[in-house]
Amino acid sequence: MNIKPSAAIRKNYNDIAKLCRSTKEPVYLTKNGEGDLVVMDLETYFRRESALKLREDLLSAEEARRGGQPGYSVKAVSALMNKAIQDVLNVKNN
């Protein structure tokens, strides 16, 4: 965990940005010894957001399944995916 005083971002922006990019971890900034902000590079931010969205979607699907909503077999999903691929290929060829 990287913890820096908030003054470090003003004085050493490039160093903080380099640290974020190299470690792929957020840097926690403190103000008067207390947690204040979290800074991270965009790649790490988007990766975390994507992971959170996936978890949210999986949780929703699991809740729906537990609520009695019908699911799909592997065979059915495979057939749907193959059809979607063929549809895309047909559009590109026309």
Contact present, 39 and 20 (Cβ < 8 Å):
yes
Is the same domain home to 11 and 28? yes
Q: What is the pTM of this model?
A: 0.63
Q: Strand (E) positions, 14-57?
A: 27-31, 34-39
Per-residue pLDDT of the chain (94 residues; tens, 9 = 90+): 888 888 888 899 999 999 999 999 999 999 999 999 999 999 999 999 999 999 999 999 999 989 999 888 899 999 999 999 999 998 777 6
Q: Does 63 share its domain with 25?
A: no
62 and 86 both lie in a single domain? yes
Q: Kind of pairing, strands 34-39 and 2-5?
A: unpaired
Indicate the number of domains in the chain.
Answer: 2
CATH of the domain at 13: 3.40.1620
One domain, residues 36 and 54:
no
Domain span holding position 18: 2-40
